[in-house]
Structure 1
């Protein structure tokens, strides 16, 4: 059998997404064969062969590596293109032309003219200028691809510093009446308010003067590519574990309570029945988690966990001997667990006693990300000479908007 963990790195370098997908599928097929042998040995001798265990883990890691390769190759297709490759129809806007002149040579005259024409509130040299709408969309598009929670949560763009969202605690009263019956006045619904403040997120890519002088380099797409990793890493951590102090409030920091005692303001949990493990009937805990969620949320629900938890679940089968975890159907797709999409978020906790390592829910209704309109860039040619720094900032907030739309699996008895 082919030892996939020793395959050369050429596939990722050639950019062949479909070849990387085929490699992962072959590795998965071998992994499942070895895992079946491991399970069979455990059933016969109550222990698995050490060599088989090692091979299963090695193939498991190979599958993870191939999945990451596919993600990188898919992202590579979104990389900035040379400005010279644009068609004549794609003429840059006046804002973009002014932005390009400022970023390349520090010429702010175009921005000054825009301020005079539109009184648009461009911040000015001390605080940086807002980027063109094309650049802001480019950064947002890249973040949606890189940031796992942003890809599944609701995203709202606002112009204010705080988004305030009312919700009904008790709901409006209703009832049935006959055609000629009196309609008594209903009780006024009790309303409360959720607030989602936006916090400043920054990155500071550096460029050489040679790069800025090169007219073939598209500056705004270059900035989008440079800040994407920094923004995505910080966002990803904050949306999961952020404490709300100068960063968004992460969903894992919300109060939790056993589902039987659930109330608004906390997230319901389902226990595995064994501390730090799935315990006997491992798939039963996942089934309980899925059906704890109401049907209205379950239609668009998915799992969120880190890769180490996923590697454990990848070995699990149902009562019919079928694997619960299924690979992506196409190159660049997402794996599924029990038929629901699975999103990998590295910031989720590992399996441990009392850990809430698996989340399941309709994240579009569960978590809200708030982007304040406008990304700013301040050109700094002085602080790190001979390099030019581009201090790039955006304001982002986030928090739970529907506490009943997701549940956590807690590894406890």
Structure 2
């Protein structure tokens, strides 16, 4: 089923005879000069493309999307599985070639396709949640040319797009030869509302090989061009919408020709156009407990950790204690502004309350001084505005005990430590 969206660029996926579509829009995003590094383990999957010249794609690693239905974007290419469009070059590269041709057997929804190309995917061969996904690519060039290295959730066939999620590691459109885009799509932030960052360099990306990568860990995705971060997202960027990047994804490589976002080839566009892929490598994510820069907060009386119920970071979620489990729902960051954050939101006294019994909830970080806390040397977790301690209601030591503010008494029920 096709879904029509507006603005930047929709995508589509032929999966079990169903086309799935996505889109991007550019947002101004600051560069983080000193980013926290993801906990990256060893290589879990790779293709170095070192086969002899003329060797077809390794179908134990990649399969093909085939067809010319416009892919939801009014694209002009027909994707084939021919070595004319995807093949090893014998020099350590996969070559995806977009050609100008209009053979009668390549029928598109609007008539005959004007071009052929290839789209490779690992949906049937490899999926993974979290880790580093990287490719070294020399992209094609020209008006209307649209190369991409991207990922989709492995539950696409059951929940559909955008609920399965989409991570665009690299996109370029020919009319912006110096710019790479990185984007996520999910429920409530898809199509024209995709969360996008970009980086523009001083020369066309097609002039040389570049490395395009994301480091993906629970509640964080960071984009890099040649090892330099240019974009990152976390659940706090989604305006309360659901973060769906918590399950395995598969990879795709393709070169589209034409479409709503890049526009169409013109007299300046030369064919054939080739995308050379030196390698694709995937590394695992090493949890090692809490992600880097975060900590669990363990109660002295219960031995349990402060937790977001059901790992669902909705505004007003009532914080609780739960068995310490190393999940993102217990991975707290003591930020420099005095807030304590997890899953992109802040620990918060309900309605900025200061009285005994005020619930301690999770709320979007808003700069209100009521959201400032400190964990002092005595183990008191103190809300600075109220000058009261975080306390487990009714001295409950079981799973699900709810948090509140209360006069600091020195009781073990109010003592906490970073775990």
TM-score over 0.5 for the pair: no
Give the TM-score, by structure 2 length: 0.27
Give the TM-score, by structure 1 length: 0.27
Q: Which of these two proteins has the greater Rg computed from alpha carbons? A: 1
- Please identify which structure carries the higher strand content: 2
